[in-house]
Structure 1
């Protein structure tokens, strides 16, 4: 009988964990506003500092503020975020088009938060090994076709900005089908390999490792009962949503329940 004495403690701990108010996470998949050109296929972003686009960004901020977040997470490292947000609040941060500043810092400041959480971590993306394998095995055209499909997705977002507000673009990007399509590019990489030589598997493993590390930083810094808005590149959304949804004590909130559908009004 004595060896089972730990079970009541475990049951009490489990009941205590379930009784705590869950944290809520609203994940917004974004594109990069500052045109860094860091991805395989990149959106050509409009100038978000123009008066009409600033009004659209404020409309997004006002809409997300209705979620009453007390935590904001962004796609920067913790050290860079802490320094830059302090400068932003002091009015000394140099002008920036980056979505971290335009969305993350704006929302946090409006909510009077003292800190923005930088969640990003570096990671490997060994695409060159996939390219080399494809070339060596006569699969170069197949890989080129996948890249064309990825470029078509970013091209569609680029074009959509001309006639749509930023809120409408983000709503489109955060539809489940669009998020799944983004993940499909990585899943297709699994077709590139054979036997013990599996560059597509390695690429996916490294991508998953980075996203798990991002999610870990979120879960480690998010207290029970808090309400978080997290802004991240849409390519990360599929794996981050999965991690958030599967984490005990955390509820995933759909971004499109809050993102505005206000039409574009050029000024």
Structure 2
């Protein structure tokens, strides 16, 4: 299992600028830096892999489809050369085949951020391929809880996992977030907000720091 994740990185939009290789095909050093945009999102269809499963949101309704189009219209302005999604490299053949069908309008897209957002954006940018970029770091949750019990730290572990923070670590996280005036939605969704409004908040510097606290303070 992974650590509880309210928002996770879905899209990496890369603006690539390389010098051309010489006739001998000798690799050259890029003359300019690569600009990378990392876009945080909640799991549209929830996630059984995370301790905090979240709540599924149906993105296939007419209203949500309009909101997705609005969001993608903003992301298109990056003119990214490549779009990466949160799938492991072994999934690349699957992504290649399903994205090809998506571009031909022959795929019934699942209620998943990779399809609903990643594929939509790449298609609007007229990019021929979507790239996989994910690695499973993993967390042995059973071993973590066994260690906490053995060392009298169950309150710390349980406080961190609770939706409403309890003792120790949970209270510390809540206090730090209050200082930043940031509230992390437990389902990954801000009630009543459009997708564009949600993404603006979820990708702000303060929200990102608050979301990473759980990883940094328990790492």
Q: Is 1:178 the equivalent of 2:207?
A: yes
What pairs up with 1:60-75 in 2 under 5 angstroms? 60-75=71-86
Distance 2:40 2:49 in 1: 16
Farther-moved stretch of structure 1 (58-67 vs 144-153): 144-153
TM-score for the superposition, normalised by structure 2: 0.71
Which segments of 5 or more consecutive residues in structure 1 lack a partner in the other structure?
1-15, 191-267
Query: Cα deviation per residue 1:18-65 (whole Å; 9 max; x = unaligned)?
Result: 7x1322111101110112322111321321111111111001111111
Match of 1:153 in 2: 184
Q: CA deviation at 1:127?
A: 2.2
Distance 1:168 1:150 in 2: 24
C-alpha change, 1:30 and 1:42, in structure 2 (3 Å) is same
What pairs up with 1:184-223 in 2 under 5 angstroms? 184-190=213-219
Q: CA deviation at 1:95?
A: 2.9
Distance 1:75 1:22 in 2: 23
Distance 2:147 2:164 in 1: 20
Distance 1:36 1:156 in 2: 10
Match of 2:153 in 1: 139
Distance 2:141 2:216 in 1: 13
For the aligned residue pairs, the C-alpha RMSD in angstroms reads 2.1
Distance 1:156 1:135 in 2: 28
Q: Are 1:42 and 1:154, in contact at CA under 8 Å, matched by a contact in 2? A: no
TM-score for the superposition, normalised by structure 1: 0.59
Distance 1:150 1:126 in 2: 23
Match of 1:51 in 2: 62
SS in 2 for 1:35: coil
Match of 1:22 in 2: 33
Q: Are 2:109 and 2:115, in contact at CA under 8 Å, matched by a contact in 1? A: no
Distance 1:130 1:104 in 2: 34
Distance 2:195 2:56 in 1: 10
